[in-house]
Amino acid sequence: MNSLGLPLISVLVPVYNIERYIGICLESIIKQKYRNLDVVVVDDGSTDRSGEICDLYAKKDSRITVVHKENGGLVSARKTAMRIAKGQYIGYVDGDDWICPDYYSDLLLKIEGNDCDAVVAGFSRDLFDSSTPMSNVVPTGCYEGEKLGNLFSNMISTGAFFRHGITTYLWNKLFKRAIIEKVQLGIDDQISIGEDGAVVYPALLKCKKVFVTNNFSYHYRQREDSMLKKSKPFEQEISQLQILYNQIDHAIDRYPASLNLRQQLQKYVLSTCIIRSGGIVDSVGGTKYLPFEKDLKGKHVAICGAGTFGQQLEKRLRERNHCDITAWVDYDYWEYRRCCLNVDPLEKLTETEFDFIVLGTVDSQATQSMRERLVSMGIESARILSIRTEDDKVENALSHYLNLDRQNNFNEQMAGHL
C-alpha cells in the first residue's frame, strides 16, 4: 500500500536480447494510469544492449528495479523477479510486448471490486501492421462456488480437441501474491515448454473467486522470428514435456476427479506433443505413429496451415520422405512469405494434384472452419484429413509421444524437484 492506501502491483518483466522492443515495453508500463507499481525487470544474460536500456529506465523511474543475471531461461528469470517483488498483486509483461495505459487500472478494478483472487483478461495479437483481439473461450464474468467448479472443469480443455477454456498465458492475468508466489517459485527451472501453463492452471485452482474479462489492452507482439518455429528434434524435447506433464499432474492430484483435470491435462500435453513433433513419432517397436485418420505414406499430400504444427508437419514429412508434398497453403500466406516460407494462398489447391489435404491445426474450431472453407471450394470432405480427436484414445496416443511406460522412473526424478 502507498500513503493513499492504494495496493501495490508488482509487474515482472523478463528480458533477453530484445533491444528493439524493451524500450517500448517499459514506456507502456511507466505510462500506466495506475501509478502504484513495482516494476521488476530481470535481464537474463542478454548479449545485446537490452540490459543497458533497462538500466537507463531504472535511472529515470524509481519504480523500476533491474537485476542482471546469467542466462537461465524464462522460468529462472520470473522466479528471480518474484523473489524481489514487493506488491500484494503480481502481473507479468514480456519484454517484447506492450500494454495500453488503462490495463492495470482496469484489472485492479475487476479484482478488487469483486474481491477476487485473480482476473483473467483477453489480449491483442499484433502481427506486422494488424492487431487482432483474442478472447478466452469461457464466458466473461465472476466465478465462485459451483460456477467456479464448472470453470475448472473446462479451463485447460473445453472438451473439444483442442481448445483451452482459459489461455495458458501468464501475462494477461493479475493474481493476488498469496495465490501465485508459491506456485511460481515451485516451478522446475528446466521447463522450457509450457512454462506459462505450468503456473497458470495450478495457481487458478488455488483461487476461491476468479473474474474473466475481455480486456484486450495487453498487446502480444508476434515477431517475424517467432513465426518461424525453430525447435529441437522432438526426440530431444520429450523429457521437457514429461516434466511439464508431471509438474501439473502433481499440482492437480489433490482436486476432485469430477473436475476431469487429468483428462484435460492429457489433452493439453498431447496437443503440445502433436504441435512440436508435427504429429509424427517413432513408437515403441519401431513403428511410426501419425495422428490422422489415414496413413499418408506414398500419397500426394497438400498441407493447409503454416503455423507451428503446419511447419513441423511439413518439415518432418519431407525429412522422412513419407509422402509427396504437392502444395503448402494458408489463409495468411502473405505473412509467412514475409518470413521466407514457401506458402501459397488456398486457391493454389484448385490447380494442384493431391490425394489428401492435411489440416495443420489441433484446434477443433479452426479445423472445422478450415474444412468448411475447403468444402466450399469444391473439395470432397473425405479427402480432408485432420488429427484424431476421440477422447478414449487420448491417453494411448499420449503414450506414443511420451513413452509413458517410463513414467515410474521419471516420477522418482521429479520428486527431487517438488
pLDDT of residue 102: 98
Are residue 58 and residue 151 in the same domain, yes or no?
yes
> CA-to-CA distance for 121 and 65, rounded, in angstroms?
26
Domain holding 65, by residue range, is: 9-227
Shared-domain flag, residues 182 and 98 = yes
106 & 129 share domain: yes
Q: Same structural domain for residues 356 and 404?
A: no
Per-residue confidence (pLDDT) for residue 13, from 0 to 100? 98
Q: Are residues 298 and 276 in the same domain?
A: no
Same domain, yes or no: 205 and 56:
yes
- pLDDT of the residue at 235: 81
Task: Please indicate, yes or no, if residue 4 is contained in any of the structural domains.
Answer: no
Residues 79-97: pLDDT tens digits?
A: 999 999 999 999 999 999 9
Q: Do residues 275 and 326 share a domain?
A: no
CATH of the domain at 193: 3.90.550.10
What distance in Å separates the CA atoms of residue 155 and residue 232, rounded to the nearest whole number?
29
Residue 414 has pLDDT above 70, yes or no: no
Which range (20-34, 75-89, 321-335, 391-405) has the least confidence?
Answer: 391-405
The reply to whether 74 falls in a domain is yes
Residue 3 has pLDDT above 50, yes or no: yes
DSSP 222-285: --HHHHS-----HHHHHHHHHHHHHHHHHHHTTS-GGG-HHHHHHHHHHHHHHHHHTT-EEPTT
In a domain, 275, yes or no: yes
Q: Whole-angstrom Cα distance, residue 201 to residue 331?
A: 32
For residue 226, the model assigns a pLDDT of 65
Cα separation, 396 vs 317, whole angstroms: 23
Whether residue 144 is found in the same domain as residue 70:
yes
Q: What is the CATH number of the domain that holds 342?
A: 3.40.50.720
pLDDT, tens only, 272-302: 999 988 888 765 544 466 688 788 889 999 9
Domain tally, the chain: 3
- Regarding whether 373 and 309 lie in a shared domain, the answer is yes
Q: Is 68 within the bounds of a domain?
A: yes
Q: Is the pLDDT of residue 405 over 50?
A: no
Any domain includes 96 = yes
- The pLDDT of residue 345 is 97
Residue 83 falls within a domain, yes or no?
yes
**Edge-to-edge order in the sheet of strand 324-329:** 324-329, 300-304, 356-359, 384-385
For 186-241, the pLDDT digits (tens) are 999 989 999 999 999 999 999 999 999 999 999 999 887 666 656 678 888 899 99
314 and 174 within one domain: no
Q: Are residues 302 and 381 in the same domain?
A: yes
Q: How far apart are CA 283 and CA 267, in angstroms?
A: 19
What is the overall mean pLDDT for the chain? 91
Looking at the domain assignment, is residue 78 inside a domain? Answer: yes
Residue 3 lies in a domain: no
Within this chain, do residues 82 and 118 fall inside the same structural domain, yes or no? yes
Distance spanning both ends of the chain, measured CA to CA:
33
What is the residue type of 190? Q
